[in-house]
């Protein structure tokens, strides 16, 4: 008997971005259902799947849901949190009024200041950073 492949949330991120990799490393342990797949939009075949400009992809996170819908920024995070059993409660709180009304502004502030937040990695400069891909060193 063959098992059906479960559709996943596809997170389009910059595989060369230290903050993106840092965030990914913190999300993956909570993805116990393995329903999230991270895709590097620096790869041409991945970028071709996204109906967004490079500038839009760089500005905020974009997620394609298992149903094929696209979410970005705060709404994308709420959907991802709800998909993870141990964090679903947080997704429901962040998606409820009045928090959901303030969330997008907070998300934009975090995105703009991501390299200055406590514990976040330093900004990746082109001459110091290389993409982190599985199987490479």
DSSP H helical ranges for the chain: 18-27, 44-47, 54-59, 73-83, 88-94, 99-112
DSSP bridge pairs for 64: 10, 70
Mean residue pLDDT across the chain = 86
- Other Cβ atoms less than 10 A from the Cβ of 23: the count is 19
80 in Cβ contact with 27 (< 8 Å): yes
96 in Cβ contact with 80 (< 8 Å): no
pLDDT in the model for residue 52: 95
pLDDT exceeds 90 at position 100? yes
CA gap 79, 65 in Å, rounded: 8
Q: To the nearest whole percent, how much of the chain has pLDDT over 70?
A: 85
């Amino acid at each position: 008997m063959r098992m059906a492949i479960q559709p996943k949330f596809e997170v389009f991120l910059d595989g060369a971005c230290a903050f993106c990799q840092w965030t990914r490393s913190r999300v993956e342990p909570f993805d116990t259902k393995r329903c999230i797949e991270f895709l590097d939009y620096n790869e041409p075949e991945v970028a071709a799947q996204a109906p967004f400009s490079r500038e839009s992809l760089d500005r905020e996170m974009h997620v394609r849901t298992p149903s094929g819908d696209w979410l970005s920024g705060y709404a994308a995070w709420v959907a991802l949190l709800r998909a993870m059993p141990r964090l679903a409660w947080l997704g429901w709180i962040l998606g409820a009024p009045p928090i959901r009304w303030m969330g997008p502004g907070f998300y934009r502030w975090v995105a703009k200041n991501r390299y200055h937040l406590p514990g976040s990695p330093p900004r990746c400069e082109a001459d110091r950073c290389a993409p982190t891909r599985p199987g490479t060193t």
